[in-house]
Amino acid sequence: MFEGHDTVSMAIIFALFCLANNPKHQEIAYQEQCQIFGNSDRVPTIPDLNEMRFLERCVKESLRLYPSVPLISRALTEPLVLKNRVIPAGQIVHIHIFDLHRDPDLFPDPERYDPDRFLPDECAKRHPFAYIPFSAGPRNCIGQRFAMYEDKSVISTVLRKYKLEAITKPEEIIFNADLVLRPKYPIKIRFRHRSKDQNNIMNKNK
């Protein structure tokens, strides 16, 4: 229940926040929904969700900037060599995912929101553990595929009905020190109903 509620809800909030603050990417994500759904307000199916390739990149980029779990810990079962230092077995190692995802050597211009970082060719250039919003290795999140489906399902439904306008800006966010990444103060987004003309465009695209 923890993984299915708290972390997913924060992932959705930050994804909507990023789209609100990046209207160009929001429009591309909306047009993708138009191609998939036309004027239908039906619930997304699994095949629909699998078609949302750009929206998935948007969610992955928001999880890079705002990982739901910003820090994880592991107990070493054997000595770990880091450059010229050896960390003995039995020690607890803390992995700061929030900072890792903002390493400019891994993600140039790391504060910039850019879903195209997750195009297949771009992903192939990075170390497989450079991006770990769901942890990594044998103890990674077993629900990560389901969580991505939840994220895309909710965001798709919102985008088809509303245009998002940012009130809170990224530089205004203050984070609480917590197991799950969350803002100290509410994130504010203005939701504007999409016009009938836009709905007609969706119908034509279908």
CA-CA-CA-CA torsion sign (101, 104, 106, 110):
positive
141 is in an annotated binding site: yes
Q: How far, in Å, CA of 202 to CA of 52, rounded?
A: 16
List, as residue ranges, the binding site. Answer: 141
List, as residue ranges, the binding site for heme. Answer: 141
